[in-house]
Amino acid sequence: MLNGKSILITGGTGSFGKKCTEIILKRYKPDRLIILSRDELKQFEMSQVFSEKEHPCLRYFLGDVRDKDRLYRAFDRVDYVIHAAALKQVPAAERNPFEVIKTNILGAENIINAAIDRGVKRVVALSTDKAANPINLYGATKLCSDKLFIAGNSYSGYHGTRFSVVRYGNVVGSRGSVIPFFKEIQKTGRIPITHPDMTRFWITLEQGVDFVLKCLSMTIGGELFVPKIPSMKIVDLARAIAPECTHEIAGIRPGEKIHEVMITEDDARHTLEFDDFFIVEPEFTWWSGESHVSNGGKPVKEGFRYASNTNDRWFSVDDLKKLI
């Protein structure tokens, strides 16, 4: 469905954006693939890997999601938007709350308005497990962003722009991932562990991109998509990276959970389960998810909760070694 279309990726020079660009260029023949980001150095570095000369469909577009006027220019004749731009470092968000709100919440509003007014067909916004029952500012801003994108379908009206959200857990190899940190600190002989019982959802960049593109193709507008992905224990990750190191309990950082949740008990009341993913349906009077039900979606049980500690899919130490 991407052949001959114009696709724009916000935050396109980030870990997800680069992998998404690689996969789209490898599998499809888009008319235009626009990389929107605010860092000229990262765009220059990315253009050394994915050049406009080698890939004539590529466009590097400097801009910030905070700048509504710039988005109106960038979204000209764009068919699909993948919104990956965000400020996502939890400690930095706690120290700089106004900046995070401007990007993650007001930026989301700008994306929605520009997409509707410019006639974009579909928008998929990336979310995080930290947006479910958030306890830190980053998670709270992403929950707010999720709500804005879902509600964007009501604002779209006759324009027909469809908005949906994809929520998943920690990404292997992304910027800020714990893996490079553990590898760097490995030389000291000690690995700091925040809590011996801590668990996290785990997904690779390629799996994340594949799932986002799948959701882009099947969205009706209003869904919150959640993939079924494995959990892992932080102590197992440390054993996989540095089996020779001792573990040092460092304590839970501010705004951090012991276990992450992607679907809460309250969301379960309007959640459909498929073989490899869930759909949290919107609570709109106009919503009809009949097509999702006919494609195999089944309501989850009352009180269902999709959490990293009660997951039925797990990575062992050997699995993590192979992945790393």
Half-sphere exposure of 261 (CA within 13 A, CB side): 16
Rounded Cα–Cα distance for residues 115 and 76 (Å): 9
Rounded Cα–Cα distance for residues 97 and 251 (Å): 23
Give the pLDDT mean for 53-64: 97
Tens of pLDDT along 201-225? 999 999 999 999 999 999 999 999 9
The rounded percent of the chain whose pLDDT value lies above 70 is 99
Tens of pLDDT along 28-41? 999 999 999 999 99
Residue with tokens 């410019």: 118
**Sign for the pseudo-dihedral over CA of 232, 238, 244, 247:** negative
CATH superfamily of 6-171+203-229+262-307: NAD(P)-binding Rossmann-like Domain (3.40.50.720)
Instruction: Exactly one of 19, 88, 130, 233 is catalytic; name it.
Output: 130
The verdict on whether 130 is a catalytic residue reads yes
Asked whether residue 198 carries a pLDDT value surpassing 80, the answer given is yes
Domain ranges within the chain, ordered by starting residue: 6-171+203-229+262-307
Around Cβ 195, how many Cβ atoms within 10 Å?
A: 17
Contacts of 154 (CB under 8 A, 6+ apart): 284, 286
Asked whether residue 157 carries a pLDDT value surpassing 90, the answer given is no
Rounded Cα–Cα distance for residues 162 and 220 (Å): 7
Least confident of 3-7, 163-167, 202-206: 202-206
Give the pLDDT mean for 18-32: 97
Partnered with residue 60 across adjacent β-strands are 35
Rounded Cα–Cα distance for residues 137 and 92 (Å): 10
Give the pLDDT mean for 224-231: 97
Average pLDDT, the chain: 93
pTM over 0.85: yes
Give the pLDDT mean for 41-70: 97
Contacts of 185 (CB under 8 A, 6+ apart): 191, 192
State the pLDDT confidence band at 130, using cuts at 50, 70 and 90. Answer: very high
Asked whether residue 93 carries a pLDDT value surpassing 70, the answer given is yes
Question: Interhelix angle for 178-185 vs 234-241, to 10°?
Answer: 50
Tens of pLDDT along 67-90? 999 999 999 999 999 999 999 988
pLDDT score recorded for residue 286: 81
pLDDT score recorded for residue 172: 80
Asked whether residue 311 carries a pLDDT value surpassing 70, the answer given is yes
Asked whether residue 175 carries a pLDDT value surpassing 70, the answer given is no
Give the pLDDT mean for 229-233: 94
Give the pLDDT mean for 106-116: 98
pLDDT score recorded for residue 176: 63
